[in-house]
Structure 1
Amino acid sequence: MFDFGNANDGQKLAISTVAGPVLITAGPGTGKTYTLVQRAIYLIQEKGIQPEQILMATFTEKAAKELVTRITNELAVRGIIANINEMYIGTFHSLCLRIIKEHLEYTRLKKNYRTLDDFDQRYTVFQSIHKFRRITGFDGVLSNTGAWRQAGEICELVNNLSEELIDPTDLKSDPDQQIAALGNILEIYQEVLLENNLMDFSAIQTEAYWLLKNNPSILAEIQKKIQYVMIDEYQDTNYIQEQIVFLIGGNHKNICVVGDDDQGLYRFRGATIRNILEFPSKFTKGECKVIPLVVNYRSNSDIVGFYNNWMVTTDGARFRFRWNKFRYDKTIEPHDKSVLKSPATVKLASVEDEEEWREKILLFISELMSSGKLNDYNQIAFLFNSVKHERVTRLARYLEDNGVNVYSPRSDMFFQRDEIRMMIGCLMLMFPKYVIGLEQEEYQFLQAEHYKYYRGCVMAANAYLEKSEAADLRNWIRRRGKIHANLKETTDYAYSGLIYQMFEFEPFSDILGTNIRVGVVDIRPARNIALFTQVVGKFEYLHRIDVFNAKYIDINTERLFNLYLRLLFDGGISEYEDDAEYAPSGCVSFLTIHQSKGMEFPIVFVDSLGNIPRKAYKDLIEVVEDKYFKRPAFEPYEMTKYFDFWRLYYTAFSRAQDLLVLTCNEDKRTPSMYFREVYEDLYDADGEMFDLSEFDFKGVKDVNLKDTFSFTSHITVYETCSLQYKFYKELEFAPVRVNAMLFGMLVHQTIEDIHRAALRHEEHLINPENIIGWFDTNYTS
């Protein structure tokens, strides 16, 4: 008999219903992850299913790691021996990459293909913007702005079209010049990817899809192997992800999807709520079992009641909408009725005085701490629509100035950190010609804010170098500066090599000597420096820079500072986030609402109450959807802004466990009319009805994530040099590629080619001529 532990009746049903299609609608705090973990254990223990026959896909790497950890732990507790390394478990993108890597020769890709992140993708388009601008009708599709902004718009369009499996040939033949131009944009973009052996995030999925679609034998092999499919966060999937799910699991129909239609947040990435709402209709009537999970174990019942009420408050002074068929009708039930007399949902506000608002927040946090009710600042989280807004960063600085540390890795403070300003300043000083140009404002691509920032970096570096303890670094920088100003012979290093040489000196050597086990604030400088090596290494890769030579040193240096780093400066860089410590001890967290998805905190402040629903689609895409998408539009266009707005704040409100605080600086626009009805009914946090003494706040739950280690990538590196392991594997410094490393990699890849040929039973291809050819191909790619 299977031990269901503390599972409730709904969870037991979800765990044990494994044959055929299943939809689990799981509200916030209803034990969704617990149910998924137990369902996997049930398949292995009760049904005798091998781990390699199970596929589990989720939305983030962190969620995937948590599933692996919890399944591993549960197997150990039950004494079950199973190798879950063989299980297909990860994000959609990681699972698609696994399929691609296992069958690379059946794709358009060559060895050493490069996967682009969002910035890489935009930068790649930016470098080729002249190709796009030659398209007839280009100006009718994109805004008449600079190349960088146009590159961003192109990426947004092609991602949307790729994920809907749109063929550019169909668009190109359309009589509408705008649509035809859009087809040409998509075609040229795909050519750029092909020519440079690149994949963006959308292309990872399309490559996997066409690989399976065009190779029936490979699809049949995967279908035979994978007998059970489980998809988490199904409300956030898009069209191509749905297609991949049904390609892999459509024959046996053992597909279980889990999600909450009320927490669908990613329409801007192509996600559609229709996938979860229409899932039962993909099968014959009554074939799909629908199991609702509605008992909330996270939040105080007052908070549950508040966000239930939010979802049905769809009438206001000047707005009105109805959910109709675009939401599963549900009411979340609290596990326990609150025994508090004090409200657990309150507001904390000032009136047209931002300084007073900050003071009230600090006072409230201080009272929480001094009361003894709060054990650690990490029990508090602030949620915003954006953590980059000036009002938010002013609040963060105010709290830190008054002794409350703030953890906000996505607030784009990277370039403002002292260690990064020092590193950029020291690097610039090693290129005297560039610094002279900076002083004389010779660079047309830099604007006033860039000149101000770069000069500040140089001044900070010079101020440090004047100190007596900086003599060694000062002399070394001067020597390098003389060499680079009068370069005649090619060096054996480039920017990355120069940075690593700089680590020999203070203050960098001291920063890098920080114990990796210290708190997130103390280790942040070392992690930021590591991130900077990744940024510079990526620049060198994109521009094929291995060494300095007299012909290109000046132009490449200008390109690094005036183009690449400038664009990153404008767009911002997120700092390191530790999946195993989403609420670092000693810090309050500043998060976006999207970032907080899947998290929970004892005390949650929800800000950004001045927001209003905004149109989130382009008119041209609406026309293309009606004519060329594989299925007609689902939600009414004019209603989507309301649906998305309500889902966003429902997600925010439901993060709170013990206390939910709506906070703002009230004025004629804040809170907006969309919040007014629920906001005005709340009691004040500094009023008589709120009684802090009644509360007992939970601690932040431990996140126990197991890392996966391989012999060659981790154990061998550690045994060779533990310090090297610290830098490359824990801090994630970008290694400088040298000839010996390159040769070793080429040999390894060529051996893989030989191995693949043997697996395909093509032993006749394994001969000296083909081996040399494979080696040469790997080198050129």
Structure 2
Amino acid sequence: FSTIQLETYKLLQNHEKVRNNLNEKLHYLMVDEFQDTNTIQEKLIFLLAGKQQNICVVGDDDQGLYRFRGATIRNILEFEKNFPKGVCQQVELSTNYRSNPEIIQFYNQWMEQNNWSKNSTTYRFDKKIIAHESNRVDQKTVVKVSGEDGLGNWESEVYLFLQAMKTKGKISDWNQIAFLFRSVKNSKVLRLSQYLEERGIPVYSPRSNLFFERKEIRLAMGAILFLFPMYGNLRKWKEDASLAEWDFYDACLLEFGKELRKPENYNLLNWCKEKARTHMKLSKNLDYAFSGLFYQLIQFELFSSLLSDNIFTIKDSRGVRNLSQFSKLLTKFEYLHHISVFTPKNIGESVVRFFNQYIRFLLQGGIDEYEDNSEYAPSGCVSFLTIHQSKGLEFPVVIVGSLESTPRKQYTEIDELLQNNFYQKPPFEPMDLTKVYDFYRLYYTAYSRTQNLLVLSCQENVASGPGTRNIPSKYFTESYRHLINWRDAPTIYDIELAQVKDVNIKGEYSFTSHINLFETCSLQYKFYKELGFAPVRQGATIFGTLVHQTIEDIHKAALKNEEHLITSANIEDWFNTNYQHLSKRERVYLAPKTQEAALSQVKSYVEKQNNDWSYIQEAEVDVSLVKDKYILKGTIDLVKGDGDTVEIIDFKSEKKPDLVKEQDTLYRYKRQLEVYAHLVEERTNYKVSKMHLYYTGEKESNPYITFEKDKSLIDQTIKS
């Protein structure tokens, strides 16, 4: 990412034409979260603003959390210095509309207890946040929920607090509560999560490294191990294979074996035995590899029960979402190792690589579970988030843990060397103090996520000798010691708790990828688009896209009056470049003969044009139309029509269908063109007169099928 930023900077700095073109289009720049920008992003902003320098930046220096990825707080603290004196106006937004006064007073005092000045320089804006009048309440709104020293009762105390808030208080959905930690992979946090789940409080914690601990994944792993009886021989190939991974494999196999013994899994047992025999003595090529085998496996009740209709909430869909993630791991392995099917030659080596390298690597590195960007606090679950994850979010009840933490040094000798000798500006914050500054900013961000009730929580501990430490740590003592225990604050049950806000991100839908798939088979749509399972073979899709993209390159050359570049050699170069990108992106390969067939379709199209490209108006126009509840999008080629009109052309990389026998297919394509016509007329100044299908695979007859535009039919299609 930093390399992309550097290349963008070089482009704008060194190419005046490109820079001026952007400056003419961009009259005003507004940048949010400016405290999280790095040096090169600041330079990019001023280059994009051009001579006008109409820039408005918004941010909170107290929430600068991204030093570890190059962000510097000086960008916001010194922003005024980029302009002549008096030119840049600073507006203070100090009214907090989210939290009630006691919570705001708590985190104001938290920031004030640290010294932000050194050598007459202050590294923080002097400000005092105040609550909005509408948030004033009489109840106690900052409390502690902690285990007592020596009792080890933190988990039970947290559980009892949650139950009391649900039964006596105003909690209507568990998603009103968020736990914020420095890390959700910490053993104490994982134990708390497990403790709550065992007692019926679901926990949403996608980044807690529990993917391989989930029952459905352990069963899927156990099934694959069972299906390859050569698994036992794998132990001989044991270079650095740690015992932990082998213990995990054995445990998975044992769990799956227990399930196979159940009467309801009789059919699965027989299928597994048959497959295992086939794999053990494989004598001919199969028509599947790991991913295809996985899809055969999940037809059985043990796994298919997770695919029930009741999976529209995150809580209920976790199992099936994890299986979806597992399907992606399998297809990625096949792509990385060029495996499309098992053969007598590759099966043994593939299984060895899969378990001893690939899965082993993933086990050591850890994998995050499914995370829904459109629903940050899923209904029915309490959230376990890192403080970084919670940035920008808000929750009615926030429980802040990790109170044993102390400031950590985040810089190395290399950072010091770079800052002192190579930065374009002199050093800013004293390096020895950055860990303390970042520590206070981190917990300020955590506390300020709260709307109605802030809770500090830990297992209290008084250090009793070497190797033990005080919890909470000395940095929290001043804030923590004044807090009242939740049991002594009955008014917390009277607090009116807000509901979690709907993120309301509109879905984007295209005709080919979404609408057509849904109308053809809604179950397939749910499987691939909603749940995200990986398709096993996408050859047909990539074939069409490859033809489309290469024709787009040809059209763009023509539109730039570079018809002389449309040569056989250049077409092949464009084609090969597109194939490389598509193959990597989709993780799919096309056989050499299939590639030749696709290239042949492109060349045939070019020959039929006789080097006359004057009819092309625009190529591959991306058109998006925002509707009330969704965004409709399409990519369209436009050709010149009669008078001021345009005609739409859509390329199909297949033979022209039989106009009588394949009416259903034609009807679908016609509706696709009607959607495109609607998009063009709603989003541009063009009027559409005709719509065409062009079949690049047609060799014998006219490759076109043409439809006259009929507004009433288009309106019906859009309504439908």
TM-score of the two chains, using structure 2 as the length reference:
0.75
Cα deviation 1:562-618 (Å, max 9, x = unaligned): 222222222221111222222222221111111111111111111111100110011
* Residue 506 (1) aligns with residue 301 (2): yes
Question: What is the aligned counterpart of 2:281 among 458, 464, 486?
Answer: 486
Deviation (angstroms), 1:450: 0.9
Cα deviation 1:276-312 (Å, max 9, x = unaligned): 1122212222222211111011111000001011111
1:766 is aligned with what amino acid?
Answer: I
Deviation (angstroms), 1:254: 2.0
- Identity level (%): 49
Question: What is the aligned counterpart of 2:175 among 375, 378, 381?
Answer: 378
Given that 2:110 and 2:444 are in contact with CA atoms closer than 8 Å, whether structure 1 keeps it comes out as yes
Given that 1:746 and 1:778 are in contact with CA atoms closer than 8 Å, whether structure 2 keeps it comes out as yes
1:374 is aligned with what amino acid?
Answer: I
Given that 1:583 and 1:700 are in contact with CA atoms closer than 8 Å, whether structure 2 keeps it comes out as yes
Given that 1:357 and 1:664 are in contact with CA atoms closer than 8 Å, whether structure 2 keeps it comes out as yes
The residue aligned with 2:63 is: 263
Deviation (angstroms), 1:375: 1.6
Q: Work out the CA distance in 2 between the residues paired with 1:266 and 1:226.
A: 28
The residue aligned with 1:673 is: 474
1:392 and 1:546, CA in 2 relative to 1: closer, same or farther beyond 3 A? same
Given that 1:348 and 1:684 are in contact with CA atoms closer than 8 Å, whether structure 2 keeps it comes out as yes
What pairs with 1:182-193 in structure 2 (closer than 5 Å)?
A: none
Given that 2:222 and 2:249 are in contact with CA atoms closer than 8 Å, whether structure 1 keeps it comes out as yes
The residue aligned with 1:190 is: none
Question: What is the aligned counterpart of 1:462 among 248, 257, 270?
Answer: 257
Given that 1:527 and 1:731 are in contact with CA atoms closer than 8 Å, whether structure 2 keeps it comes out as yes
Question: What is the aligned counterpart of 2:430 among 631, 636, 646?
Answer: 636
Given that 1:407 and 1:588 are in contact with CA atoms closer than 8 Å, whether structure 2 keeps it comes out as yes
Given that 1:304 and 1:333 are in contact with CA atoms closer than 8 Å, whether structure 2 keeps it comes out as yes
The residue aligned with 1:216 is: 16
Deviation (angstroms), 1:488: 4.2
The residue aligned with 1:398 is: 195
Deviates more, 1:694-703 or 1:583-592: 694-703
Given that 2:390 and 2:449 are in contact with CA atoms closer than 8 Å, whether structure 1 keeps it comes out as yes
Given that 1:314 and 1:321 are in contact with CA atoms closer than 8 Å, whether structure 2 keeps it comes out as no
1:762 is aligned with what amino acid?
Answer: E
The residue aligned with 1:544 is: 338
Given that 1:301 and 1:337 are in contact with CA atoms closer than 8 Å, whether structure 2 keeps it comes out as no
Q: Work out the CA distance in 2 between the residues paired with 1:228 and 1:737.
A: 46
* Residue 388 (1) aligns with residue 185 (2): yes
Q: Work out the CA distance in 1 between the residues paired with 2:334 and 2:390.
A: 34
The residue aligned with 1:36 is: none
Q: Work out the CA distance in 2 between the residues paired with 1:323 and 1:378.
A: 46
Q: Work out the CA distance in 1 between the residues paired with 2:120 and 2:189.
A: 32
Cα deviation 1:647-702 (Å, max 9, x = unaligned): 00000111111111111111132111111111112222222x55234422222222
Deviation (angstroms), 1:337: 7.7
Deviates more, 1:447-456 or 1:505-514: 505-514
Unpaired runs of 5+ residues, structure 2, are 464-469, 582-720
The residue aligned with 1:529 is: 323
Question: What is the aligned counterpart of 2:232 among 436, 454, 461?
Answer: 436
Q: Secondary structure of 2:195's match?
A: helix
* Residue 240 (1) aligns with residue 36 (2): no
Deviation (angstroms), 1:708: 1.9
Q: Work out the CA distance in 2 between the residues paired with 1:430 and 1:683.
A: 58
Cα deviation 1:498-550 (Å, max 9, x = unaligned): 22232322222232244442x22211111111111122222233333333333
Given that 2:141 and 2:452 are in contact with CA atoms closer than 8 Å, whether structure 1 keeps it comes out as yes
What pairs with 1:99-248 in structure 2 (closer than 5 Å)?
A: 201-248=1-48
Deviates more, 1:369-378 or 1:670-679: 369-378
The residue aligned with 1:659 is: 453
What pairs with 1:32-51 in structure 2 (closer than 5 Å)?
A: none
Q: After TM superposition, where is structure 1 displaced by more than 6 Å over at least 4 residues in a row?
A: 319-323
Cα deviation 1:179-214 (Å, max 9, x = unaligned): xxxxxxxxxxxxxxxxxxxxxx33343343344444
The residue aligned with 1:586 is: 380
Given that 1:527 and 1:576 are in contact with CA atoms closer than 8 Å, whether structure 2 keeps it comes out as yes
Given that 2:169 and 2:493 are in contact with CA atoms closer than 8 Å, whether structure 1 keeps it comes out as no
Q: Work out the CA distance in 1 between the residues paired with 2:553 and 2:180.
A: 49
The residue aligned with 1:16 is: none
Given that 1:314 and 1:322 are in contact with CA atoms closer than 8 Å, whether structure 2 keeps it comes out as no
Given that 2:175 and 2:383 are in contact with CA atoms closer than 8 Å, whether structure 1 keeps it comes out as yes
1:206 is aligned with what amino acid?
Answer: L
Deviation (angstroms), 1:556: 2.7
1:776 and 1:585, CA in 2 relative to 1: closer, same or farther beyond 3 A? closer
Cα deviation 1:223-266 (Å, max 9, x = unaligned): 32222222211111112222222222233312222111100111
Q: Work out the CA distance in 2 between the residues paired with 1:645 and 1:325.
A: 17
1:249 and 1:674, CA in 2 relative to 1: closer, same or farther beyond 3 A? same
Q: Work out the CA distance in 1 between the residues paired with 2:74 and 2:136.
A: 39
Q: Work out the CA distance in 1 between the residues paired with 2:310 and 2:564.
A: 54
* Residue 707 (1) aligns with residue 514 (2): no
Deviation (angstroms), 1:554: 2.3
Cα deviation 1:98-118 (Å, max 9, x = unaligned): xxxxxxxxxxxxxxxxxxxxx
Pair member with larger Rg: 2
Given that 2:32 and 2:58 are in contact with CA atoms closer than 8 Å, whether structure 1 keeps it comes out as yes
Q: Work out the CA distance in 2 between the residues paired with 1:759 and 1:212.
A: 25
Given that 1:308 and 1:332 are in contact with CA atoms closer than 8 Å, whether structure 2 keeps it comes out as yes
1:263 is aligned with what amino acid?
Answer: Q
1:709 and 1:417, CA in 2 relative to 1: closer, same or farther beyond 3 A? same
Q: Work out the CA distance in 2 between the residues paired with 1:321 and 1:396.
A: 42
Cα deviation 1:704-731 (Å, max 9, x = unaligned): 2212222333223323332222122211
What pairs with 1:28-67 in structure 2 (closer than 5 Å)?
A: none
Higher relative contact order (CA 8 A, sep 6+): 1
Q: Secondary structure of 1:594's match?
A: helix
Question: What is the aligned counterpart of 1:328 among 122, 125, 131?
Answer: 125
TM-score of the two chains, using structure 1 as the length reference:
0.70
Deviation (angstroms), 1:769: 4.0
Deviates more, 1:591-600 or 1:625-634: 625-634
Given that 1:321 and 1:639 are in contact with CA atoms closer than 8 Å, whether structure 2 keeps it comes out as no
Question: What is the aligned counterpart of 2:409 among 609, 615, 639?
Answer: 615
